[in-house]
Amino acid sequence: MLRAIVIDDEDHSRDTIRKLLGEYCPEVQVVGAAGDIESGRRAILQYNPDLVFLDVQLEDGTGFDLLRSFSNIQFRTIFITAFDKYAQQAFRFSAIDYLLKPVDPEELAAAVHRAEEFINHHVSLQFQALEANLKSVLVQKKKIILKTFEKIHLVDLDQIVSCESADNYTIIQTMDGERILVSRTLKDYDEMLSDCGFYRVHKSFLVNLAHVKCFEKQDGGFVILSNSQKVPVASRKRDELLAVFDKMGK
C-alpha cells in the first residue's frame, strides 16, 4: 500500500484526487492533505508519505519551493498542473509525471503505476531539469532527461545529433560521440521533439536539423550530420525534407 498526500490550494481539486484514487488506485491510501507550502511540509514530515500529489502553483509559492525545503527527498512526486501544452512539454523532457487538470482517471492510474517504479535518488536531477525547462519554454534552450539502466543523463537538446530506433529502445547520439540507449521508442521521441527542430527522415531515424551538413541525392538520398553520421532518407520523406530545407534557407 502506498501512503499518499495531496497538496493543492483548491479544495475541490484535493477532493477530486482523493475520490479518483479511491476508485481507480486501490493500492494508494491518502493519509493527509494540505493547501499551501507550510502545511504541506508539515504533512510530509508527519506522515512520511511514499507519494505526493503536488500542485505546481500554490497560494504562497510553487511546488518547487516546497521541494527545495527538503535536503533529502524520500518520496515520489506527481505534479498537478493547469499549464498549457508548451509547458507540459517541459515535464515530458524532464521525465517527471504530471497530471493535467481536470485529471483523467486513466492517466492518474498510469502515473501511480510509474511512481511505484520510480528511483528515489534520481529525484533531484529530474526536478532540476524540469525547473530549467519550465523557465525556458519561451527561450527554447531545453534539456532532456535520458534514463538508462545505469545512469540518468541530463542533456542539452542542441547536443543531440540523432535518435535511432532499436526495437522498443532508442539510441541517442550526441555531439561528443556518446551513444545512449534508452528504453523508450523512437515514436515517443518523434512526438516529443518534432516541435524542437527534429525531423523523422526514416522509420528508424530522427535527426536534429541543426546538425544536418548536407543532403546526398544518390542511392535514394542520405543526410550527412555534423558527427559524420550518414543517415538514410525514406523515399516518401525526400520531397518533404527538401521542402523543409527550402524553408530554412529563406
How many Cβ atoms sit within 10 Å of the Cβ of residue 190?
16
144 three-class SS = strand
What pLDDT does residue 130 have?
A: 62
**How far apart are the C-alpha atoms of 167 and 169, rounded to whole Å?**
5
163 touches 172 (CB < 8 A):
yes
106 touches 54 (CB < 8 A):
no
What pLDDT does residue 165 have?
A: 96
What is the value of pTM for the model shown?
A: 0.53
The one-digit pLDDT tens for each residue of the chain (250 residues) are: 889 999 999 999 999 999 999 999 999 999 999 999 999 999 999 999 989 999 988 888 888 888 888 887 778 888 888 876 556 665 665 546 788 889 999 999 988 887 776 544 455 556 666 666 665 554 455 788 888 888 888 898 999 999 999 988 999 999 999 999 998 899 989 988 887 889 999 999 999 998 999 988 877 789 999 999 999 999 888 888 888 777 665 4
Cell, residue 24: 481507480
Q: Can you list the domains of the chain with their CATH numbers?
A: 2-135 (3.40.50.2300), 155-248 (2.40.50.1020)
Q: What are the CB-based long-range contacts (under 8 Å, 24+) for 221-230?
A: 225/161, 225/162, 226/161, 226/175, 227/161, 227/173, 227/175, 227/177, 229/161, 229/162, 229/173
**How far apart are the C-alpha atoms of 18 and 226, rounded to whole Å?**
51
What pLDDT does residue 14 have?
A: 94
What pLDDT does residue 114 have?
A: 77
The residues, any chain, with a CB within 8 Å of residue 161's CB and separated by 6 or more, are 173, 174, 175, 207, 208, 211, 225, 226, 227, 229
What pLDDT does residue 84 have?
A: 66
